[in-house]
Structure formats: structure tokens, C-alpha cells
Structure 1
């Protein structure tokens, strides 16, 4: 199936539309009859961006901070118990797997039911996971609670909160989406050092209980403001055009996301352990993770602004290229605080660029009306990538005589990001072969 321009008489058909088939503020003067967002007060769209910012911060911030808790448990609670440490590595994998696994269902439910209600269900699950985990003592129990239950909640929240801002904006869609997904970087910037402080002050159990409280309170407030201007609730699974799977751009985009899912969590999960093995303290390692999340925050905003001026696909290639170099070139030399900061900043900036642009790329390739469901189905297909990350790295580090061989780990993560970069280049050329065009 090719994605071509459609006539006005076919715009409402239940097919995946190219964003080029739809007029924008740049080509026509929009009226409230055409753009439902204009029927709402201006503050409504900004409140939605703010709500999505908080939801992104809670879902991705906790996930990005998992490495801090993992390092503490491996070094102080399960020290010397190889089997339990290995099981512990699956917690982060399950969190990340859930973030993507439930994306397809979340996308459909958001479009045909309610963004607000779906996100609230996700917030409840995200709070319930760590709350139950606070009463658990075995790693397999943490896999079921912090891993599976929190992952379910994050999966219900992540997709809708990523795509909702794009439904409110046309001319500044990149900037609006960039600001919203910046919440993930801001969340990690705050939650990583907070986690380390709470673990040292009140212990792992109370850290989990406190996190459940702020997830529930802040998440509920954010859900109240999360909505979209229009929902076609007549859509069902039968309305989805499954021929999309035969489209090369769809397949290439799904491949890109799979590579990102496989590579993204590896540095956040294992950099703290890497730095501690090189003589840095656990507190310093948590600060460096926080620095990476802070850089991700700036990357999401700046790249969203850049995408509005130089093109979404062009900006995506830049972000993925930077991230690939950070893992392949910088990580092996990040053995002191100075190089650790450089690695954290560049990796955080590059990954932030990807998260800001991912929903915009889907909107550009497949249209904005079904952004939640299309992004969701791609994400669910890509969920398999989460099992190629932490579990494989853990097996690498378990090899006799290779406990601190992080060169293999950094190369492994970098190859995934390089694969994503290649997929982005292919999609860019499929969309337009003009090298210097804004796409």
C-alpha cells in the first residue's frame, strides 16, 4: 500500500492518511468548522500540554531512574547472589516492555473511549505497582509488581500523553509535542536523585511507598487536563486498514522503533553499575543519570523547535546519529566524572530528540487523526525489542572474567541506535529523495 494524496471526497475514509493529504494552517485559513481545537478556549490546549508533561514525567521518569534502585539492591541486598541479581535485571525490562506492549490497546481505547479516563487507569496501575512492591522481598515479586503492573500503567499512559498535544496544534505541533514529552526528561531529572536520597534516608520500602503517593496525586491532577478536541467514537478494530503492514514506510518505522526499544534502557540501567565499578560513588552515579535526564529535557524542547523549521525526518536523523556516537565512541571512555558528564549530556540530548520526534514522524507519515492507534500498533510490534536489551547485557556481564567488560555492552547498545539511524535514513529517502528539502 502506498500513502498518496487523497481527494476531499475520500478524506473521511477509514484508511491511513498521509499528513500531506490534509490541509494545514500553512496552506489554508482554518475555521472552527475544520479545526475542532479552535472551538475551545486557548488555555485548553496549553493545559493538555501541561498534563501530558506531568504524565510523561511520572511514567518515563520512574523507568529512567530504575538503574539507581537496581544498583543499590544488587550491591547491598542481593550482593553475591548471582541468581537473584539476574532476576532483578528483568524488572526494568518488564517496565519497558509494558510501556510498549500495551500501546496498541491504549491507542485504540484513547481514540474510541477517552484519553482522560484511560490515562487515569494507567496512573492507578503505576501507583499500585510500587505500592505492592514495597511489601515484597524477592526479585521475582518485584518483576510482577514494579515490572509488570507498573509497566501496564506506563503503557496506558505513555502513548496517549505523547500523541494528545499533536491533536491541538498544527503550526507549532513540533514545539508543543516537544514540550509535552520533555516531561520524561524532567521526571528523570527529579526522580533519580530523589530515589537515591529516599533509599539512603528511609530505605527501599518507603521509597516505593512515597513514589506511589506522588504518582497517584500528581497523575490524577494531570489526567483531569488531558483531552483531545475531537474523537470519532464510531471507529472499531474493523475500521483499521491492516494493509498498512504491507507498506514499506510502516515496516521501516516499526523497525526503527524496535531498535530504539532494544537500545534505550541499556545505558540507564547499567551506567550506574559501570561508574561504580570505575570507582565513582553511588551518589555520583545517580547524579550523572539525573544529568542525562536533564539533557534529555533540553533535547526534547530544542529538537521540537528545530523540527518546525528544518523538518521532522531531518531532525530525527540528527538525533539518532548523536545517540549512536555517544554509545559507540564516548561510553568506553566515560570512566571519570568529567567524561561521565559528557556522555550523560550527549546521550540524554540525543534520546530526548528521538522521543520528541517519534509521534511527529508517525503523524507526518500516516496522518494525525489516527496518531494514537498507528503509533500504538507500531509500539506493540516493537515491544519485542525490550527483551533484546537488559537480559542480554546481563548475560554478557555474567560471563566468567568479564564482570566489568562494559566495552561490549556499550558497543551492543550503540549498534541498536545505529540500526535505528539507518532505518530513519531509509524512511527519509522514501519520503523524499531531495537531500536538502524540509521533510
Structure 2
């Protein structure tokens, strides 16, 4: 027997011994992340960081009704309602669809790159908007530059926070997403006051400086807690065979159509119909977003108790009903009440979807990719909603407001019905179950 044969036999004899020895060892700690802290300074700093990012992403979008109303006046450029809506719709769509890129980049651990690039693009886009005097310039700066920058920030935010919480995840995301409501209150007021005093360019530069200052918090404090062990595909193709996930994404697309109709036209409606003067019409946006603060926090806290789909489905149906109720508004008091109520229900459909995507994702390390995919699908609704509503509204007096509100209300009601189906897919017809 040769020396090589002896060595081979030795290796074969040693192999099972090594395997038995390995199986007896406890698994290394590196196989999984430690459990979420569910609180503490670092965890709540992520919520504070998310609050500021929502403030400057969704907060900008929910303030677009101010821009819509100002652009409709023709003081900056001449364009139809439908064409003006393309600015906000593309901005909203890019905020969502950029998640297809931002999600996998986040999963690879490049959170800091996303934060720096996204923050720069939002501030730079606003500065370029302040120099715009024509429609195409506003489209490039506000729709594309700000939209892409916001998209690079949004999906990482809703991916980071859930990794720090389990029992209070709905409340944590609700508090963070309420930043968009505060942004939707502050930005319209700043724009309304400053446009009259210093003009549109310096008013827009002022909100750019506010964004620059508030971005310092996430740049300093936001941290990845769970790192993906190896790079993943840009698209999770298995998600397209996950029927609850895809059905929920469809519902999100439809409700975003209804919601963007409401967001874009809640201010222009009373001004055009003469229910309010131009000043109060601008403040309707702030009132709407003040109401959405409640809708982003309390229902999310409720979802921690009764289940996220038990919460989002009925609230989405109520959103559709209250949009239809705009048909019965004929004075300033009515539009103020509607702004508060619809704002509250609108906040729910923005704040709860990240929690839904987490529940629908079994492999938690794929949260970034799946959330990005889902919001990209839903973002098509944001792209469709504004321009289609503008086409329904028309450009010849009297404008077709009945068609606009029926369109938005029916879309939201249809989404609520689909969400009921998703709830049944997850738990069946049993009523008293947290899902």
C-alpha cells in the first residue's frame, strides 16, 4: 500500500469524525442577527431619522397641491391641468419606482451612499426649480430630480425601521411617516407666505434650505442593523408567484390613484368653485396634512393590536367614501371638515403599506427588495392618477369636478374591497384573528 493510499484512508476515517464533531457544536452566532431591540436610543434615532426623510419625501408630494394651484394661475408658465399634474405624478411615481434600484442597493449595505445621493438630489432639484421659468424646466427639476432623490431615500427608510422593532413596529413606522404630514403642513405655509412676500424663486429656495438642514439627522444617525450575507438579484422573481403579495400590490396601485387625485386637487377645488379665497385654498393643504398626522399614528398603533390588514382594509374603504362626500361640499366650512377627515384616512394608506409588506415577506432579509418592488408596482397608480384626473377635469369652464371625485372615490373603494380579499387569503373567513 502506497503512502498516498494511507493518506486517503486517513482522510476518509477522519471525515465522519469531523462531521460528528461539527454537528455537536452549537451553530455560530453569525448565522442570524440578534433579536430587534424594540426600543432604546439607537432604535428611536432610526424613527427620528425616518421622520425627517418622510418630511422631505412624502411631505413634498403632499404639498404638491400648493404647486398645482400656483402653476394653474399661469404666473410662472402656461399649461393645462393635466400637464401640470404630470409634474407631481412623475415625482410621486419616481419616489416609488426608484425603490427597484434602492432596495437591492440597501440590501448590499450601501445605506450611506443612498442617503447622501438622495439628499443631494432633493436639495439640488429644489434649487433648480427656483430658477425655472418654463414648464419643461419645472418638469426636469421637480419631477425627475426631486423624485429620483426622494426614491433613493424612501425605500431604505421603510426597510431600516422594521429591523429595530417587532412588537411596536406599526407605531414606530406610524411616527416616522407622520413626518410627511408635518412636511405637508409646514411646506405649504412657508410657500404661501413667502411667495407673496419674496416671490416664487426665494420661496422654493427657502424650503430647499429647510430640507438641507433636516437631512443632517438621518445622515448622522441612520444605521443598518441586519446585513444581507450575499448580494441578491435586483428583482425577487418568486414574489410574482406570491398571490397575497401581488394582490396587495394591485390594491396599493389602485388606492394610490384615488389618493393622488385627492392630494393634487383638494386645494384647487375650493378655489375654482369659489368656496374659499386663494389664501384659504393654500391653507387647505396644511389642514389636510394636519389631519393625516392622526391617520399615520393612531391606526398604526391600532394595527399592532388587531392586525395590519384588519386596520388598512376598512380605513381604505372609508377613504373612498369620504372622497365621494366631496360632491356634497358647497362652502368653506364643508371643505375644511373634508380636508381633516380625508387627510386622516389618506395618512393610513401611506403609513401602513410598509408594515403590510413586512408581514407578506417571509424571508426578512429580502425586505428591501420586496418593499421596493411592491412600491414600484403601486407607484404606477401615482403616475396614472394625476394626469387622468386632470383629463377628466378638463380645461373648459365649468370644470368637471363631479367626474374627478367619483373617479377618486371609486378607486379607493375598489382598493378597500381588494384588501378585504388579501385579508381572507391570509387568514380565511375567521373574524377574530390578528392579521
TM-score bin, normalised by smaller chain: 0.7 to 0.9
Residue 347 of structure 1, aligned match among 331, 342, 346: 342
Cα distance in 2 for partners of 1:296, 1:66 equals 15
Q: How does 1:258-337 map to 2 (within 5 A)?
A: 258-279=253-274, 280-328=276-324, 330-337=325-332
Who is 2:75 aligned against?
77
Who is 1:405 aligned against?
400
Cα distance in 1 for partners of 2:38, 2:266 equals 45
Cα distance in 2 for partners of 1:203, 1:218 equals 23
Task: Report the Cα offset of residue 78 of structure 1.
Answer: 5.6
Task: Report the Cα offset of residue 76 of structure 1.
Answer: 4.5
Residue 129 of structure 2, aligned match among 122, 133, 141: 133
Who is 1:201 aligned against?
197
SS in structure 2 at match of 1:136:
coil
Residue 229 of structure 1, aligned match among 220, 225, 230: 225
Q: Is contact 2:244-2:425 (8 Å) kept?
A: yes
Cα distance in 2 for partners of 1:332, 1:190 equals 28
Who is 1:22 aligned against?
none
1:370 aligns with 2:380: no
Q: Is contact 1:69-1:196 (8 Å) kept?
A: no
Q: Is contact 1:78-1:84 (8 Å) kept?
A: no
Note the alpha carbon deviations across 1:169-194, whole angstroms, 9 max, x for none: 11111111111111111111211111
Task: Report the Cα offset of residue 220 of structure 1.
Answer: 2.8
Task: Report the Cα offset of residue 339 of structure 1.
Answer: 1.2
Cα distance in 2 for partners of 1:311, 1:379 equals 21
Who is 1:66 aligned against?
64
1:431 aligns with 2:429: no
Task: Report the Cα offset of residue 40 of structure 1.
Answer: 11
Cα distance in 1 for partners of 2:116, 2:339 equals 32
Task: Report the Cα offset of residue 413 of structure 1.
Answer: 0.8
Cα distance in 2 for partners of 1:343, 1:40 equals 36
Residue 418 of structure 1, aligned match among 407, 413, 417: 413
Task: Report the Cα offset of residue 39 of structure 1.
Answer: 7.5
Moved more, 428-437 or 330-339: 330-339
Who is 1:107 aligned against?
103
Task: Report the Cα offset of residue 247 of structure 1.
Answer: 2.0
Moved more, 258-267 or 405-414: 258-267
The number of residues matched between the two structures is 404
Who is 2:119 aligned against?
123
Task: Report the Cα offset of residue 233 of structure 1.
Answer: 4.8
Who is 2:44 aligned against?
46
Residue 219 of structure 1, aligned match among 205, 210, 215: 215
Cα distance in 2 for partners of 1:72, 1:313 equals 38
Note the alpha carbon deviations across 1:110-154, whole angstroms, 9 max, x for none: 111232331221111111111111111101110111111000011
Who is 1:4 aligned against?
none
Cα distance in 2 for partners of 1:398, 1:84 equals 8
Task: Report the Cα offset of residue 37 of structure 1.
Answer: 5.7
Q: How does 1:236-251 map to 2 (within 5 A)?
A: 236-237=232-233, 241-251=236-246
Cα distance in 2 for partners of 1:347, 1:33 equals 46
Note the alpha carbon deviations across 1:343-370, whole angstroms, 9 max, x for none: 1112111121122211111111113332
Moved more, 31-40 or 256-265: 31-40
Task: Report the Cα offset of residue 41 of structure 1.
Answer: 8.9
Cα RMSD between the aligned structures? 2.1
Cα distance in 2 for partners of 1:417, 1:405 equals 19
Report the TM-score, using the length of structure 1 for normalisation: 0.87
Q: Is contact 1:127-1:216 (8 Å) kept?
A: yes
Larger CA Rg, structure 1 vs 2: 2
Task: Report the Cα offset of residue 89 of structure 1.
Answer: 2.3
Cα distance in 2 for partners of 1:233, 1:133 equals 41
Moved more, 103-112 or 217-226: 217-226
Who is 1:167 aligned against?
163
Cα distance in 2 for partners of 1:33, 1:283 equals 59
SS in structure 2 at match of 1:77:
coil
Report the TM-score, using the length of structure 2 for normalisation: 0.88
Task: Report the Cα offset of residue 408 of structure 1.
Answer: 0.7
Note the alpha carbon deviations across 1:380-420, whole angstroms, 9 max, x for none: 1233222321111211222545x422111011111221121
Note the alpha carbon deviations across 1:240-277, whole angstroms, 9 max, x for none: 64122022112201101111222222122112111102
Task: Report the Cα offset of residue 432 of structure 1.
Answer: 0.7
Task: Report the Cα offset of residue 33 of structure 1.
Answer: 8.9
SS in structure 1 at match of 2:87:
helix
Q: Is contact 1:322-1:346 (8 Å) kept?
A: no
